[in-house]
Amino acid sequence: MTAYVVFTRERLRSASDMEGYSPGARASFAGHDLQRLAAYGKCETLEGAPIEGAVILSFPTMEAAKAWYDSPEYCEARKHRFLGADYRAFITEGV
């Protein structure tokens, strides 16, 4: 069943730390079956606290999504995200 990884950026803390994140995150896609469905396009918060941006990635299965998230390449990239901003991230199965 399709799985979606969803990231919402709640607060940017360091633009310079985030500069190190994007190239590594994109490079981590290599060898993984995923599609970028949304990435920091126009966003309107309907409920809850406002967000600064969102990313939605589609994977064929939960296992494939977890394999990418836990891959050495993405683990290295996300260190920059942890330093640069506050995010909420989750994986959910589709229908």
**Domain span including residue 69:** 3-43+53-93
Q: Kindly state the average pLDDT of the residues 72-81.
A: 96
Please check whether residue 31 lies inside any domain of the structure.
yes
pTM of the model: 0.93
pLDDT at 85: 97
d(CA 92, CA 62): 8
**Angstrom distances, CA of residue 84 to CA of 10, 47, 92:** 11, 25, 25
CATH classification of the domain holding 61: 3.30.70.100
**89, 7 Cβ separation under 8 angstroms:** yes
Q: What is the mean pLDDT of residues 16-25?
A: 93
Q: Which pLDDT belongs to residue 38?
A: 98
Exposure on the CB side of residue 78, measured as CA atoms within 13 A: 16
Confirm whether 48 is domain-assigned.
Answer: no
